[in-house]
Amino acid sequence: MAARLTGRPADRVRTTPGSPAEVLLDGGTPVMVKRGDGPGAVRAEVAGLRWLAAAEAVRVPAVLGHDEHWMVTERVPVGSPGPEAAFRFGQALAALHAAGAPHLGAPPPGGPEDAYIGAAPLRNAPGTDWPRWYAEHRVLPYVRDAVDRGTLRPGEAALFERVCERLPELAGPPEPPARLHGDLWNGNVLWGADGEVRLIDPAAHGGHRETDLAMLRLFGCPQLDRILAGYRQAAPPADGWQQRVGLHQLFPLLVHVVLFGRSYAEQALEVARDALAR
């Protein structure tokens, strides 16, 4: 596959279950080969990587070839998380967000409206009002899906619906649409051996910049304090952003409820209850 998409013979292939294959091309160039999660997934990811790169802010692996089902990217030699790299990454993330998007829900140029976050569908429908858009396209679709799968009960779904009703008063001041990575958990942050961070596996779209920041905190990220320090120096978030972290984490938590079942439901419900208690 790597040979077909890059035009270069492959010398060696190493596979790990559940992960992209690592291939050594003729001449010693290491690359990663990944299959898309569903129709349009590769096109969405390739468009997302190129959109992030076009901001000239964060670094991403170069796309070396792709078709409708497979993509080949450069392999990033990884090192250890360091405070200086983290601070620079925070500044770069702020610059990425500031590069903006045409509107909320904007897909990357050339990317499909119906995309993915991991293996879950992600619809990039346009919007102008963040609370309404977030409720309609980032919270309630996954609530309904979780109820259909039996991982949320209808009474529990009503809790998320009440949070959505209160979003206009909880969301903080309006902001212009940011250019988001969209799936910015620790596993998609590669600490390069050269001391620079690369981002992989985006679910890129136009959204609220606090969503990326909240996702970084959700599952823990090395050097997070330094990342946030760099971000705040470049573009301080609006007052009260730390109290809104849970609201922005509802989206990825509900995605995890859909993909991985009941184990994430209690965490999502706790976040919803905390929001309603404010």
Instruction: Domain of residue 226: give its range.
Output: 77-276
pLDDT in tens, 204-261: 999 999 999 999 999 999 999 999 999 999 999 999 999 999 999 999 999 999 999 9
Q: What is the pLDDT of residue 14?
A: 76
φ/ψ of residue 112, rounded to 5 = -80, 155
* Domain assignment of residue 141, yes or no: yes
Q: What is the model's pTM?
A: 0.95
The count of structural domains within the chain is: 1
Domain annotation covers residue 34 = no
Q: Looking at the domain assignment, is residue 138 inside a domain?
A: yes
The 10s digit of each residue's pLDDT in 173-211 is 999 999 999 999 999 999 999 999 999 999 999 999 999
Confirm whether 140 is domain-assigned.
yes
Q: 57 in a domain, yes or no? A: no
pLDDT score for 25: 84
DSSP designation for 193 = T
Strand partners, 75: none
pLDDT-derived band at 121, boundaries 50, 70, 90? very high
* Domain CATH number, residue 180: 3.90.1200.10
Q: Dihedral sign for Cα 80, 85, 87, 88, please.
A: negative
Query: What would the DSSP string read from start to end of 102-142?
Result: SSBTPPPTT--SEEEETTEEEE---BS-HHHHHIIIIIHHH
Task: Give me the residue label for tokens 């080949």.
Answer: 72
Checking if the pLDDT of 43 tops 90, the result is: yes
**Residue 114 within a domain:** yes
Whether 51 shows a pLDDT value over 90: the answer reads yes
Q: Is residue 50 included in any domain, yes or no?
A: no
Is 217 among the domain residues?
yes
**Tell me: the pLDDT tens digits for 3-17?**
787 778 777 677 777
Active site residues: 183
